[in-house]
């Protein structure tokens, strides 16, 4: 991407210097990150909320991340450059959505953390990957995920990194325009529709990431090969590919994010149209 390194965005909350500490179950002894990881996996696999019983007072992570004094983190020039890059993408994408939605767009915050973090949606660790929490309207990312994206998923390049963040901003857009709460309500009303609706939400966020990519391209922010980097990243984190990497069989009925082909197709649709109205994944795929 063609970008000029600047300072840290005013919408970035940097808690890399915050100690994760331990976690405890309500009324039980504290559990470590290994136990927390097991609860995260169980919640994702079964659809039940095993994290609701975790007590934030069991360790050093506050109940929710917000503005406040956090000790500066030990860092490297490479990591600080990455902070500046995600700051650029965050600001550029949110400026784009402000132009599209006008005053109705409320900017999200990006929480940069290490190892583990607490949000209004519960606790998470770096292995969870980047996520958006509608409860506090914040995006969370451990920058180490980008190393995994390149090394494990073979999806390197700065536009691949930008796509990941733009996708999470897409979830914030869904929250702002009211799609997210409607979908959550539909999931509660019909639990059997949860996976299908989750896939449609994720594919729409991919399309919204493409809408920003279209804007960036029109403003000459993309280098040759950037679009291919983004499409490679979208394909790399498709449910079918992840299931194959895990050594299991591909089970479309268990998809929560969409196949590699679908993720690429909807990201491309946003890139080519630049129109959020083209991102209606709920009328059909």
For residue 138, give the H/E element and its range. Answer: strand 138-142
Whether 181 is in a domain gets the answer yes
Helix (H) or strand (E) holding 140: strand 138-142
Q: Is the pLDDT of residue 174 over 50?
A: yes
Q: Once rounded to an integer, what is the mean pLDDT over residues 3-7?
A: 86
Question: The domain containing residue 88 runs over which residues?
Answer: 12-20+61-279
Does residue 248 sit within a domain?
yes
7 within domain boundaries:
no
- The pLDDT of residue 274 is 97
Report pTM. 0.82
The reply to whether 48 falls in a domain is no
117-126, 184-193, 209-218: which range is least confident on average?
117-126
Is 80 within 8 Å of 72 (Cβ atoms)? no
Residue range 215-265, pLDDT digits in tens:
999 999 999 999 999 999 999 999 988 889 888 788 888 899 999 999 999
Tokens matching residue 73: 């983190």
Give the chain's domain count: 1
Q: Has residue 19 got a pLDDT over 90?
A: no
Summarize pLDDT for 259-274 with one digit per residue, the tens. Answer: 999 999 999 999 999 9
Task: Tell me: pLDDT of 71 over 70.
Answer: no
Mean pLDDT score of the chain, rounded to an integer? 85
Token code pair at residue 252: 């479309």
What is the rounded average pLDDT of the residues 173-201? 96
Instruction: Answer for the pair 56, 63: CB distance below 8 angstroms, yes or no.
Output: yes
Contacts of 13 (CB under 8 A, 6+ apart): 65, 66, 67, 109, 110, 111, 112, 138
Give the dihedral sign, CA 254/48/43/282. positive
The answer to the question of residue 50 being in a domain is: no
The predicted pLDDT at position 252 comes to 87
Q: Is residue 47 domain-resident?
A: no
CB-based contact 177:280 (threshold 8 Å)? no
Helix then strand then coil, in percent of the chain rounded to 5, is 55, 10, 35
Q: Flag whether 69 is in a domain.
A: yes
Given this model, what pLDDT does residue 185 score? 96
pLDDT of 10 higher than 90: yes
Domain annotation covers residue 99: yes
């Amino acid at each position: 991407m063609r970008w000029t390194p600047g300072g840290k965005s005013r919408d970035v909350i940097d808690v890399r210097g915050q100690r994760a500490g331990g976690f405890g179950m309500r009324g039980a002894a504290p559990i470590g990150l290994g136990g927390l990881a097991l609860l995260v996996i169980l919640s994702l696999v079964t659809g039940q909320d095993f994290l609701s019983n975790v007590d934030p007072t069991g360790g050093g992570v506050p109940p929710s991340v917000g503005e406040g004094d956090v000790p500066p983190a030990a860092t490297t020039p490479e990591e600080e450059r990455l902070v500046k890059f995600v700051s650029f993408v965050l600001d550029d994408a949110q400026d784009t959505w402000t132009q599209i939605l006008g005053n109705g767009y409320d900017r999200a915050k990006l929480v940069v953390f290490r190892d583990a973090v607490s949000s209004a949606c519960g606790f998470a660790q770096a292995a969870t990957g980047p996520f958006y929490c509608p409860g506090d309207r914040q995006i969370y990312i451990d920058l180490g995920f980008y190393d995994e994206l390149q090394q494990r998923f073979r999806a390197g390049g700065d536009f691949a990194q930008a796509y990941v963040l733009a996708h999470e901003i897409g979830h914030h857009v869904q929250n702002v325009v009211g799609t997210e709460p409607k979908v959550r309500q539909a999931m509660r009303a019909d639990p059997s529709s949860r996976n299908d609706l989750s896939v449609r939400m994720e594919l729409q966020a991919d399309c919204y990431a493409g809408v920003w990519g279209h804007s960036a391209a029109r403003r000459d922010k993309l280098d040759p090969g950037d679009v291919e980097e983004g499409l490679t990243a979208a394909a790399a984190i498709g449910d079918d590919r992840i299931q194959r990497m895990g050594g299991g069989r591909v089970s479309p009925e268990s998809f929560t994010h969409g196949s590699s082909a679908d993720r690429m197709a909807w990201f491309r649709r946003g890139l080519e149209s630049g129109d959020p109205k083209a991102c209606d994944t709920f009328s059909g795929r």
